[in-house]
Homo-oligomer: A and B are copies of this chain.
Amino acid sequence: MENADIAAALASPDLDTPCLVLDVARLDANLARMNAIVARLGVALRPHVKTAKCTRVARRAFGGGTGPITVSTLREAEYFFADGFRDLLYAVSIAPAKLPRAAKLARAGARMALVVDDAGSAQAVASAAVAEGAAFDVLIEIDADGHRAGLKPGDPRIVEIARALDAAPGVRFAGVMTHAGGSYDRVGAAALRAHAERERDAVVQAAAMLRDAGLPCDTVSVGSTPTLTFAHDLTGVTEARVGVYVFHDLVQSNLGVCGLDAIALSVLATVISHKRDTGRVIVDAGGLALSKDHGTAKHAIDYGYGQVCALDGTPIAGLRVVEVNQEHGLIAAADDAGAQAMFERLPIGARVRVLPNHACMTAAAYDAYRVIGERGLEVWERCNGW
């Protein structure tokens, strides 16, 4: 669609606000960029579908087909499996009570890979595999940067757990994985490239330790959008798990991972009130529609709860959602002159698009995307919940 057609479609009163708008041209550009990156690095792509939670987005990453994916909930696993995705990595340490549900997918034909960082959890997975008559692949989570979960690269428990898994019936010890979430505290190409090396080194070191102990380690998995974007050399790594790259967001822009014009996701909102005394234009997209994620709060550019754009997607300089209540978003300009222009440009009833701080959190408030594609607006469904 041309810009003028996009603006006309999004202005239609048939479209209720707030709603979630996805720009397919930007999505496709983001997918192509990451495909080129992983091809250059020589690693397989296992996209993390937690961001889009949408099989149509994931299929686009594979040229229309399916491929290996990473999931953050068993509901995602079930939803993607039902649409033909067979190779599933549930990348959250498995709670023992979730094993029967995961086993059901494995029995139905999924390659179900689970993650552990604890000997007891590994034992629970092995026991469930036998009890449920299901085959699980199991990865050990490695802690690359102290961000969240996992065992540190040199921890002797890595070998102990792998050995126990390797000897257990019903499970296959498949390798190691890490998520360098600390990359979100790094800004710019040099810092993120260094963090990508740290992420790589953590799993490659763990894999070497396992192989030295005579154990297999087929999978050596890394993944975060900031590290993958700037990784220079992933020798020893087999696959990349990246999620938010499909949409990007203001946090990624602030980290230097993308430009504002790569952000494929926005919230369509309608102006509902003018508060000239406080310098605020109020829209009907608040904390639920935008999320309360203030991920840019400590960045060089604090976007509040979102950057305001015209309907064709062009950012309106200086206009940000500075405060949110449940169903109210308060937009302010950078200065008095900007405020005057804002009130003139955005009368009550006018619509804007708001770029989100954190695409994963914002998208989760919606059941579907309104997709700006070649053939006008389409509806693509999402899979929320657990």
Contacts and interface: CB of A to CB of B under 8 A. Distances in A.
Interface of A: 13, 16-19, 50, 72-74, 92-98, 100-101, 117-118, 120-121, 124, 141, 143, 146, 148-150, 152, 181, 270-275, 277-278, 282, 284, 287-289, 291-294, 325-328, 330, 347-349, 358, 360-361, 364-367, 384-386
B50 A326 contact: yes
A360 B327 CA distance: 11
* Residue from the set A73, A143, A326, A347 with the largest chain B CB neighbour count within 10 Å: A326
A277 B328 contact: no
Given A72-B327, A275-B149, A278-B146, A96 B349 contact: yes
B277 A152 contact: yes
Contact of A282 (B16, B148, B288): B148
A123 to B, nearest CB: 11
A270 B385 contact: no
Contacts of A330: 148
B270 A97 contact: yes
A291 B16 CA distance: 24
Contact of A367 (B149, B293, B385): B385
Copies per assembly: 2
Contact of A386 (B16, B98, B287): B16
A349 B123 CA distance: 12
A292 B362 CA distance: 11
Given A72-B327, A97-B270, A118-B273, 15 more contacts: A17-B386, A19-B386, A50-B326, A92-B272, A94-B272, A95-B284, A117-B273, A121-B273, A149-B272, A149-B328, A150-B273, A288-B361, A288-B364, A292-B293, A326-B360
A292 B117 CA distance: 26
A95 B292 contact: no
Contacts of A50: 326-327
A329 to B, nearest CB: 10
Contacts of A328: 92, 148-149
B93 A272 contact: yes
Contacts of A93: 272-273, 282, 348
Given A92-B327, A95-B270, A148-B282, A348 B118 contact: yes
A40 to B, nearest CB: 28
B96 A348 contact: yes
Given A366-B385, A367-B385, A349 B124 contact: yes
A16 B288 CA distance: 24
A350 to B, nearest CB: 10
Contacts of A117: 273
A283 to B, nearest CB: 9
Given A292-B361, A386-B19, A272 B326 contact: no
